[in-house]
Structure 1
Amino acid sequence: MSTTPSPQWVDYRAQLLRVTAHIHDHLAEPLDLAELAVVADLSPFHWHRIYHALMGETVAATVRRLRLHQASGHLAQTALTVTEIARRCGYPNAQSFTRAFRQFFGESPQAWRETRTDDLPWRTAAAAQPDGWPVTVRQVPAIEVAGVPHRGSYMRIGRAFETAQIQFAAQGLMRPDTRWLAQYLDDPFAYPEAQLSSRAGFSLPPGAEVAPPLQRFSLGGTPCAVLRYRGPYPNMRDAYQWLYGSWLIASGHRLADQPVFEDYLNSPRDTAPADLLSDIYLPLAPSAIAAR
């Protein structure tokens, strides 16, 4: 009597999570499709198509974007040489790194650094934005979000976003109007990088059910000062320094007991760094609207 073999189900989420974790942990090392297929434990003929369909970009584009994002952070916030940054970000030499950086950012690493730093280690470059940034104060409705926690440098929260994206898509929660949001609980000037806490996630459709490891949390539901920031993520420190050190002090608004959060209006996957748009939400006490 013949029997029909049971189907073998594959948890593609777990396998792609292994790949994204491996990429983030080995940016300084060579990364090729054959090696990542082994990490994913998927057929080399198909796994890259799965990744591309789910993540919205090729693996090569992911690796390039993450390496150059990390490099831009080193340039803006450390005194490391261009050669050392190239090595830490997986480039064999300063020349190949400079070519890739120029193609992505439109100028050389050294030129990019000089326009964004005054005196290293990092110091706010307020002169680059003498009139500050546009800020509006408005009531922000509560936003229901599902995501995952991140511990460590805020410059590496992309890893949490990719983990959350895989889970979000697998649970059928992604929509055309889904928002990318992050909440930052600690001041990066006050705590060591290893102790910084944040959460990365996506806005939920009404009535959506969420399964672990995604965690639900709410943002907004209070008046907020909303700063519109345009440009590379590493330079958002300038905007934060101005928002707290100039705008808030001059405004006299009382702060709510809630962490700041960010809403990313476009994606580094298909947007030049200079054109990235982000809204920084600074929660204010309920009297903020009444006092206007």
Structure 2
Amino acid sequence: MKQLARLRQAQGIERVIEHLQACLRAQQPLPDVTTLAGIAHQSPFHFQRLYRALTGESPGQTLDRLRLLSALQVLQQPSASVTEAALAAGYGSAQALARRCRQRVQATPRQLRDDVGLREQWQQALARPPADVPGTEATPLQVQVRTLEPFDVVLLRTRGAFADLDAGFGRLFAWAQAGGMDEALRHLVGIAVDDHRDVPGHRHRFDCGMGFAVPLPALPVPLRRQVLGAGRHAVAHHVGPYERLQALGDALLRDWWPGSGYTLAEAPLYFHFHDDPEQVPGDQLRADVCLPLAG
């Protein structure tokens, strides 16, 4: 059953990659998450994390990798110019291709055109996603399926590097203190809107959340209310730096879920934090990764 589930996942990812290749040929922009999730027959709540867990990259990074590979394939033609390779691969100019080559392969397009060995080396590397590179190992997991009680949380959408999330939780706590709710704090949670491994810090979005043992008052913008923890969840306990929680979420979807027999719920995976990084050493921080299950 586990192998069949993994096969279905892989087939869904292959359909997405084929669609991305078609977008590249037509020089169309990256489709939205809902469209890609539908192609993979996956929930939009879990598609991006599952895609990354299986490929080692985001859909946008796949498109970028395939675009650069397409340019190198044009450059293998002796008569091709850098401009021709750039335009054929969807870059706006030869300068745009040159900039991306320097960033990704530390070489210029002309070097890649003229040095057959260097070009073929990078063509082989770019032809497969990072998760296909030999040496990738599954993360050992200890997972419990629990029926959790629902709880209200107050969420604040933040932007910034993962290591700077304390500021968002600080803003939430200041709001709770002002309302006399700080002593009723019971839950610290987080929902990763973006994967901090895939986007630069200034674009990284993360929902910082707090749950309280008292009814919530009317919330001022930009705070919002959400219910978490309702029903069955796969829970994996984590000890160590919180930056590693994303990888544990990947492992839940890649290594545990396919053979679990459970269906994923239409709800986001969330992190339940048990310690304050300002008070507990990084290697001792505790948190649970909670994956909602249907039924």
TM-score normalised to structure 2 length: 0.49
TM-score normalised to structure 1 length: 0.49
Q: Which one has a bigger Cα radius of gyration?
A: 2
Higher relative helix content: 2
